[in-house]
Structure 1
Amino acid sequence: MSENSFSRELRLLTPTHFENVFQNAIPSVSPQLTILARPNNLDHPRLGITLSKKRVKQANQRNRLKRLIRESFRHNQHDLPNTDIVVVGKTGLDTLTNEQVSLLLKKLWKKLSRRCAQSQSG
């Protein structure tokens, strides 16, 4: 159970952490989500989520989407490179079903891993 937990050390906690990711980030983009990553000096990835009220109007939808993103991250964290990751929601994300969001995230995690590997080798 604990190896798939989402403990405090797996989160981006301060605005400075988020700003560091936004500067010089490696993107993984879809029409509904943008995932930005930046290598960190830790031995595990960390996650931050931004879903604005402007993009996802209802609080219950924002909460549902955050839960899905955290869940997906928990299950895929061991396949991700050691990076700080920020998931940014876009307009239309709240119209997707849970299954669609999960599939989209799985695809974006793979894309992100590939791009991070390419940037480190090249």
Structure 2
Amino acid sequence: MSQYAYPRELRLLTPAHFQFVFNQPPVKAVSQHLTLLAKPNQCSHPRLGVTVSKRNARLAVQRNQIKRIIRETYRLQQHKLAGFDIIVIAKLGVTELDNEALRELCNYLWRKLSKRCKQYSSA
């Protein structure tokens, strides 16, 4: 079994990194509860940023759990997403999903985003 890590290099760390993706992202994957935005970067690996606002998940415990699940699914799917900066935005109602449903939704969106990133790169 392959080992996938989530080191510092695979994260969007500064507001400038986030703003880079927010400005005209060419690739998107959207669902009722999550939105994924992606933009090609200069690295050979993907980088992830996650935003869960207080408005969408009141309790810090809920926000942290949502972020933890998103990061874990990303960690397992990162090899399919080379060279893109990705931001995951949680929407209102994301707290209504149980952990397994959120995992399935994330996995579905990662597959969808991966396909769209490959199409964008080849065009």
TM-score range, shorter chain: over 0.9
Any idea what SS the aligned residue of 1:4 has? coil
TM-score (norm 1): 0.95
What are structure 1's unaligned runs of at least 5 residues?
A: none
Provide, for residues 45-104 of structure 1, a one-character-per-residue CA deviation record: whole Å limited to 9, x for no partner. 000000000111111000100100110111111111310000000001011011101110
1:51: which partner in 2? 52
The alpha carbon displacement at 1:2 in A equals 9.1
The alpha carbon displacement at 1:3 in A equals 4.0
Q: How many residues align?
A: 122
CA RMSD of aligned residues (A): 1.4
TM-score (norm 2): 0.94
Q: How do 1:1-122 residues align onto structure 2 when only pairs under 5 Å count?
A: 3-25=3-25, 26-122=27-123
The alpha carbon displacement at 1:10 in A equals 0.6
Percent identity over the alignment?
50
Structure 1 runs of 4+ aligned residues shifted over 2 Å read none
What are structure 2's unaligned runs of at least 5 residues?
A: none
Any idea what SS the aligned residue of 2:13 has? coil
